[in-house]
Structure 1
């Protein structure tokens, strides 16, 4: 979808929506209009979806390399398990930061007790590419409770800093690059000024409508901002925004399935490793998602990533 040029917004990405068995996913990154914003190479809005009693998410074990997954919920609960032996439910306002590095495997499911009744799943998952010199770092996992993430509020705004630093507050999450990521709730009429502290910045409109430099933008839009100046977003209705960005990456990143790397050869190696069972297993789980498509080395189109 085209958008007239704006003095504040460089690119507008309309998230692509798909239904995965009654569960709607809207993907803003990567897109043909924008591959990444700072170190963010992937951004999905999941839901909101109402799952009936007896239903739930069952994302079987799958691998990652070269990135950190950043899972944040607005509503509901997801149970995370990984090959480090971590078992962690994530709930609204909390942060799961999983560094894949040289390789990790994880699953995301609905816990049995949650399946007993109707329940909602609503949130976002982002992938942060690791710097080229840290792509092969040791895998790691960190969970941060909602009351550990700083909140800045006033004048009709409430902003939780998920990762990095923003508005004078800093998240306790350890990152390997200079970035910011925040969840902003705005009352109708509230104005939010996003400073020009980072060269690459974007606003993803989760809910509501915002106005920037005289242009209105509805939910489901990723607004990539022009560098150099502070940008003011005014909420025309109650709104929820994800604020994200950072310094430009140290080079392009290749994405294939759940693998991210500065090297195509490294992705080919990851394919071969998953096919051969060389990734570590998730303790207590025997299922896994097979490598999509033809064997490594044969022509193939990039498959969709495993969600979440």
Structure 2
């Protein structure tokens, strides 16, 4: 998805001991894109990244009447890999390496921008022909400097390939990386963590260790180390073991983290370890030097 806004952050409730495991609680900035809301949690002014994750959006939930839906025109990326995951609905992905892939709930789409890719996100006519819903997450992974100029690529992972386990009664899916003794098949470029879990009221989940990690509350509410974590908040935790979250109602969460990569520059849809590379990408997009999205060649988002 194209970068359309920024986000804001809030401090932890206190600096006392119960809050010491929490670095910051982030609140989203919300944009209404014509009846379709997007909540952005990363990047923020004080917290640019969590591990390699540099961008975190929640799309929807949205209800579209027949004849309407999302229409994200072709736009470019460099220096990242995008991760798309849906709770409801379907999105049709097309890109400049020739991919044509609907994504449905439980699947993961991993698009590696590397040296440069363009893509669009729409819905198939079969979907827009009737009333439908859409709800999901889109995240960007910054690539290590050694992979920033890797060839663009696209990988689709059906939901049945994603490991699903039970941790003390809590269903957990290990989307990217390794946790709780299992590993995801999704391609990694650096140490990366991404989990999804659904907790019933009163259930507790101990988070896997990671150099950096955060929990996003997609729905419901949590309590952790003396702080209330409401729906649509992201809580960045300090490094260490024994960090637990407890649901105060039925709650769906995403856990992200991994090894930090160092400073990155971000402008519009471009991410790089150098400003000069972003300037070149801007010039290339304006000049039409990016490859066109196969099957979606006419319109595009200008810069």
Q: CA deviation at 1:33?
A: 2.8
CA deviations over 1:18-67 (Å, ceiling 9, x no partner): 10010000000001231000000000000000011100111011110000
Q: Which residue of 2 aligns with 1:128?
A: 141
Q: Which residue of 2 aligns with 1:172?
A: 185
Does the CA contact (< 8 Å) of 1:156 and 1:187 recur in 2?
no
In 2: Cα distance, 1:17 partner to 1:167 partner: 33
TM-score of the two chains, using structure 1 as the length reference = 0.92
SS of the equivalent of 1:219 reads: coil
In 2: Cα distance, 1:229 partner to 1:79 partner: 40
CA RMSD of aligned residues (A): 1.1
Does the CA contact (< 8 Å) of 1:62 and 1:288 recur in 2?
no
Does the CA contact (< 8 Å) of 2:206 and 2:245 recur in 1?
yes
In 2: Cα distance, 1:101 partner to 1:155 partner: 39
How many residue pairs get aligned? The number is: 290
CA deviations over 1:204-247 (Å, ceiling 9, x no partner): 11111111012111011110001123310011111000000001
The 5-angstrom pairing of residues 14-29 of structure 1 reads 14-29=27-42
In 2: Cα distance, 1:255 partner to 1:291 partner: 17
| The one of 211, 226, 229 aligned to 1:214 | 226
SS of the equivalent of 1:284 reads: coil
Seen in structure 2, the aligned counterparts of structure 1 residues 288 and 4 have a Cα distance that, compared at 3 Å, is farther
In 1: Cα distance, 2:23 partner to 2:53 partner: 17
In 1: Cα distance, 2:240 partner to 2:302 partner: 43
Q: Which residue of 2 aligns with 1:300?
A: none
TM-score of the two chains, using structure 2 as the length reference = 0.93
CA deviations over 1:100-146 (Å, ceiling 9, x no partner): 00001100001110011111110000000000111000111100000
Q: Which residue of 1 aligns with 2:7?
A: none
In 2: Cα distance, 1:283 partner to 1:199 partner: 39
In 2: Cα distance, 1:82 partner to 1:51 partner: 24
The 5-angstrom pairing of residues 241-280 of structure 1 reads 241-249=253-261, 251-280=262-291
The 5-angstrom pairing of residues 48-59 of structure 1 reads 48-59=61-72
In 2: Cα distance, 1:109 partner to 1:13 partner: 29
Question: Any unmatched runs of 5+ in structure 1?
Answer: 293-308
| The one of 287, 303, 308 aligned to 2:298 | 287
Question: Any unmatched runs of 5+ in structure 2?
Answer: 1-9
SS of the equivalent of 1:152 reads: strand
The 5-angstrom pairing of residues 162-241 of structure 1 reads 162-196=175-209, 198-241=210-253
CA deviations over 1:135-170 (Å, ceiling 9, x no partner): 000111100000000001143311111111111111
CA deviations over 1:148-203 (Å, ceiling 9, x no partner): 0000114331111111111111111111111110111111111100122x210100
In 2: Cα distance, 1:246 partner to 1:288 partner: 37
